[in-house]
């Protein structure tokens, strides 16, 4: 059960990051979605979504590896 919860916790930010990448790609091809009026704004929203999703995923993995002692000295907390 715990593995399923961890999978869901990682799936949601992964989907958000994928949607952000899709928004940025669609902006480059000139496809705008109705709630966002400008291309640059759509690209910015996509970039923020991608960065937040990848950042959450990376932070989750770093925290897990710190607890298990699998990180280098420079990543260990003081």
Provide the domain limits for residue 30: 13-69
Does residue 3 lie within any of the structural domains? no
Number of domains within the chain: 1
Among 50, 47, 52, which residue's Cα sits nearest to residue 39?
47
Dig out the tokens for 17 from the structure. Answer: 């990051």
Does residue 43 lie within any of the structural domains? yes
Instruction: Please give the model's pTM, rounded to 2 decimal places.
Output: 0.87
Query: pLDDT class for 8, splitting at 50, 70, 90?
Result: very high
Which pLDDT score, from 0 to 100, does residue 77 have?
Answer: 87
Does residue 65 lie within any of the structural domains? yes
Does residue 74 lie within any of the structural domains? no
Report whether pLDDT(49) > 90: yes
Mean pLDDT of 32-45: 96
CB 17 within 8 A of CB 49: yes
Does residue 35 lie within any of the structural domains? yes
Does residue 8 lie within any of the structural domains? no
Report whether pLDDT(78) > 80: no
Mean pLDDT of 5-18: 94
């Amino acid at each position: 059960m715990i593995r399923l919860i961890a999978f869901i916790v990682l799936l949601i930010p992964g989907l958000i990051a994928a949607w952000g990448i899709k928004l940025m790609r669609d902006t480059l091809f000139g496809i705008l979605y109705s709630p966002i009026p400008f291309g640059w704004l759509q690209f910015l929203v996509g970039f923020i979504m991608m960065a937040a999703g990848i950042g959450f995923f990376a932070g989750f993995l770093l925290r897990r590896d710190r607890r298990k002692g699998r990180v280098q000295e420079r990543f260990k907390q003081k």
